[in-house]
């Protein structure tokens, strides 16, 4: 093991162009200051371990390359790298042939992080990449968050493989937090399912209007669910329709802004997310997207939107207004084959015209609903749950017609897509 104190590391950093540590050999920075100049390489055959000597945290001033064959471990109280700038200098390259881990008690700020060969697993949350994350291997987020500070699309350079985040809200989500700020561009996070070596769950957001503040970001995550869409995303109480009509996957695309941007969103989904034995009310070609308004705690304030492209397993949602940009999203079956209207008066006076009150419309016999009708004192007068049994103006089933006046009503309805609706209004009884 190489144990570097402050003076020794500084000297080596100045006089050596390339430092090779033996295969499997660890480098422990016990409060030292490592300087790797531009063009220089430090090749570590084992772990790089950043420590505090009881007084000082280990640091790295990196303009060259640190190539790590095993794990990157930060157990100091800092983010390891200092004097982080911009551009393709200052590279931590993790290219081991065995699984590698980014871990410790404190996250790391990388200038550029290049991952190649074996899978890399994130075992600490809050790591940051100042310029570019080069994805040329599987990066398993493992319920942790990584932050991209570069507001340009090159902040994630996808070469091959994918970012893996297939956990759920019970375990904790793996998230990519991209500090896009006010930039207008298209940003893709190359999520993958692990079914192949491809980014088959890639998520793209195109920002169309400026947002604020410039440090604002969008957090990306996606995860599969069980047949009945459990567990639901953070802050969601429940779905507004039956699980038969909802794909078995959620997407969190969460704007962390004071002033949110208008965006276009593109989602990739999997055939296994559309389980025919579970999602029998979901027709791929007719799918729409819904999202949960975390302030109003409802799925229903934005009508279902977007277009499905089944051949490519892609779903596109264009022109999401800032006021409608919330997380999370899911895909639902949405074939509207019914209409409903509510008369505002009726005359139960036995003249054969307009004798009863009930909703009218198209295909109402396919709907499950219950309507409660109240007088002006809030007394329940009638419960209507069968379209063929309208209110004839009597109190319950007494046959005695209620006094002329205004009555309030509220209706709870579940349609053929499993979607729940709530209506309310008034009706005037005229004798």
* pLDDT value at 137 more than 50: yes
Q: What pLDDT sits at residue 138?
A: 98
Residue 414's pLDDT band, with cuts at 50, 70 and 90, is confident
Between 18 and 323, name the one with better pLDDT: 323
If you average pLDDT over residues 89-100, what whole number do you get? 94
Q: Tell whether 147 and 129 lie within a shared domain.
A: no
Q: What pLDDT sits at residue 350?
A: 84
If you average pLDDT over residues 175-201, what whole number do you get? 97
- Give the CA angle between residues 77, 80, 83 to the nearest 5°: 125
Q: What pLDDT sits at residue 356?
A: 95
Residue 13's pLDDT band, with cuts at 50, 70 and 90, is very low
Q: Tell whether 201 and 291 lie within a shared domain.
A: yes
Least confident piece of the model among 157-171, 357-371, 381-395: 357-371
Residue 21's pLDDT band, with cuts at 50, 70 and 90, is low
- Give the other-Cβ count within 10 Å of 120's Cβ: 25
Q: What pLDDT sits at residue 242?
A: 83
* pLDDT value at 178 more than 90: yes
**Are the C-beta atoms of residues 150 and 132 closer than 8 Å to each other?**
yes
| Total count of domains within the chain | 3
* pLDDT value at 100 more than 50: yes
Q: Tell whether 282 and 355 lie within a shared domain.
A: no
Q: What pLDDT sits at residue 19?
A: 53
Residue 121's pLDDT band, with cuts at 50, 70 and 90, is very high
Q: Tell whether 117 and 231 lie within a shared domain.
A: no
Query: Chain-centre distance of CA 352, in angstroms?
Result: 57
- What CATH number has the domain bearing residue 352? 2.60.40
Last residue of a domain, one of 335, 351, 383: 335
Q: Tell whether 145 and 212 lie within a shared domain.
A: yes
* pLDDT value at 105 more than 70: yes
Q: What pLDDT sits at residue 14?
A: 37
In whole angstroms, how far apart are CA 392 and each of 21, 355, 396, 402, 431? 90, 6, 9, 9, 12
- Whole-number average pLDDT of the chain: 91
**Are the C-beta atoms of residues 252 and 235 closer than 8 Å to each other?**
no
Residue 310's pLDDT band, with cuts at 50, 70 and 90, is very high
Q: What pLDDT sits at residue 232?
A: 94
Q: Tell whether 327 and 206 lie within a shared domain.
A: yes
How do residues 218-229 score in pLDDT, each as one tens digit? Answer: 999 999 999 999
From first CA to last CA, the distance across the chain in angstroms is 97
CA gap 294, 281 in Å, rounded: 26
Q: Tell whether 110 and 212 lie within a shared domain.
A: no
Q: What pLDDT sits at residue 1?
A: 55
Residue 421's pLDDT band, with cuts at 50, 70 and 90, is confident
Q: Tell whether 147 and 231 lie within a shared domain.
A: yes
If you average pLDDT over residues 154-183, what whole number do you get? 97
Last residue of a domain, one of 299, 314, 335: 335
* pLDDT value at 20 more than 60: no
If you average pLDDT over residues 107-118, what whole number do you get? 97
What is the model's pTM? 0.79
Last residue of a domain, one of 318, 335, 352: 335
Between 262 and 301, name the one with better pLDDT: 262
Between 239 and 4, name the one with better pLDDT: 239
Q: Tell whether 168 and 21 lie within a shared domain.
A: no
Q: Tell whether 195 and 303 lie within a shared domain.
A: yes
* pLDDT value at 213 more than 70: yes
- Give the CA angle between residues 375, 378, 384 to the nearest 5°: 60
**Are the C-beta atoms of residues 133 and 113 closer than 8 Å to each other?**
yes
Q: Tell whether 253 and 369 lie within a shared domain.
A: no
Q: Tell whether 358 and 318 lie within a shared domain.
A: no
**Are the C-beta atoms of residues 223 and 269 closer than 8 Å to each other?**
no
If you average pLDDT over residues 267-280, what whole number do you get? 93
Range of the structural domain that residue 3 is part of:
1-136
* pLDDT value at 106 more than 50: yes
């Amino acid at each position: 093991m190489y144990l570097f104190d402050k003076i020794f590391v500084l000297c080596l950093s100045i006089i050596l162009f390339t430092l090779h540590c033996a295969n499997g050999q660890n480098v422990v920075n016990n409060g030292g200051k490592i300087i790797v100049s531009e063009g220089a390489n430090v090749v570590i055959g084992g772990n790089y371990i950043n420590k505090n000597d009881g007084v000082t945290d280990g640091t790295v001033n990196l303009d060259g390359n640190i190539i790590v064959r095993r794990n990157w471990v930060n157990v100091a109280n800092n983010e390891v790298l200092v004097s982080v700038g911009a551009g393709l200098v200052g590279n931590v390259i993790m290219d081991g042939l065995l699984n590698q881990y980014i871990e410790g008690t404190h996250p790391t700020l990388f200038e550029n992080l290049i991952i190649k060969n074996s899978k890399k697993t994130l075992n600490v949350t809050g790591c940051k990449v100042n310029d570019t994350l080069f994805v040329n291997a599987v990066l398993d987020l493992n319920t942790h968050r990584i932050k991209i500070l570069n507001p340009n699309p090159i902040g994630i350079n996808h070469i091959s493989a994918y970012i893996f985040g297939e956990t759920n809200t019970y375990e904790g989500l793996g998230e990519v937090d991209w500090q896009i700020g006010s930039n207008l561009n298209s940003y893709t996070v190359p999520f993958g399912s692990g079914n192949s070596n491809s980014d088959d769950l890639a998520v793209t957001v195109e920002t169309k209007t400026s947002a604020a503040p410039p440090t604002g970001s969008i957090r990306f995550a996606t995860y599969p669910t069980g047949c009945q869409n459990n567990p639901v995303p953070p802050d969601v109480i429940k779905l507004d329709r039956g699980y038969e009509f909802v794909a078995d996957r959620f997407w969190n695309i969460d704007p962390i802004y004071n002033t949110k941007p208008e965006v276009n969103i593109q989602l990739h989904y999997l055939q296994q997310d559309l389980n025919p034995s579970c999602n029998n009310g979901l027709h791929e070609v007719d799918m729409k997207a819904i999202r949960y308004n975390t302030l109003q705690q409802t799925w229903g304030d934005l009508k279902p939107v977007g277009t499905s492209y089944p051949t490519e397993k892609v779903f596109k949602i264009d022109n999401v207004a800032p006021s409608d940009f919330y997380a999370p999203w899911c895909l639902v079956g949405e074939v509207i084959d019914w209409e409903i209207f509510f008369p505002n008066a009726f005359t139960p006076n036995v003249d054969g015209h307009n004798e009863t009150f009930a909703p009218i419309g198209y295909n109402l016999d396919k709907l499950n609903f219950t309507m409660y009708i109240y007088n002006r004192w809030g007394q329940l007068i009638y419960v209507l749950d069968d379209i063929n049994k309208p209110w004839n103006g009597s109190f319950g089933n007494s046959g005695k017609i209620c006094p002329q006046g205004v009555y309030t009503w509220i209706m709870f309805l579940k349609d053929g897509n499993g979607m729940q609706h709530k209506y309310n209004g008034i009706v005037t009884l005229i004798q």
